[in-house]
Amino acid sequence: MKSLAELAAIREKMKDKVILREGSANKRVVVGMATCGIAAGARPVLNAFVSEINAAGLSGEASVTQTGCIGICQYEPVAEVFEGDTKTTYVKLTPEKVAEIVEKHIKGGQVVQAYTIGNADK
């Protein structure tokens, strides 16, 4: 180790890998992973959230976890995005929709209205 820059480079590279354990994320994505969710394709959705958030370098911003049955099985796969007291419920998700949500909502702060539960039956 010959310089502080070398050390800083390792720190930056590793920071994302341990940040999961700090609970500092201010956005929380919760994917419904009950039997109904998994059957409807929640696993690829969950993985898409994780990889899109990582790819966008937002792993310190948002955490991704799973939860059990949210109770709206007809809309699965479902994910909820928590931010402070507000909650946005996205329904009938696909990995493609996830990419858009990460880009617009997680990164840009704009809710993707088209995929929310309020617009599901329109």
Q: Rule CB under 8 A: which residues touch other proteins?
A: 1-4, 7, 10-11, 13-15, 17-18, 20-21, 23, 25, 30-35, 38, 46-47, 49-51, 54, 63-68
Q: Which of 81, 83, 88, 95 is nearest to 118 (CA)?
A: 88
Minimum distance between the CB of residue 33 and other proteins, rounded to whole angstroms?
Answer: 4
Closest CB to other proteins among 53 and 112?
Answer: 53
Closest CB to other proteins among 24 and 119?
Answer: 24
What is the SS3 assignment for 57?
coil
C-alpha triplet 39, 107, 80: angle, nearest 5°? 35
For residue 103, the tally of other CB atoms under 10 A from its CB is: 14
Minimum distance between the CB of residue 122 and other proteins, rounded to whole angstroms?
Answer: 29
Closest CB to other proteins among 46 and 91?
Answer: 46
For residue 88, the tally of other CB atoms under 10 A from its CB is: 20
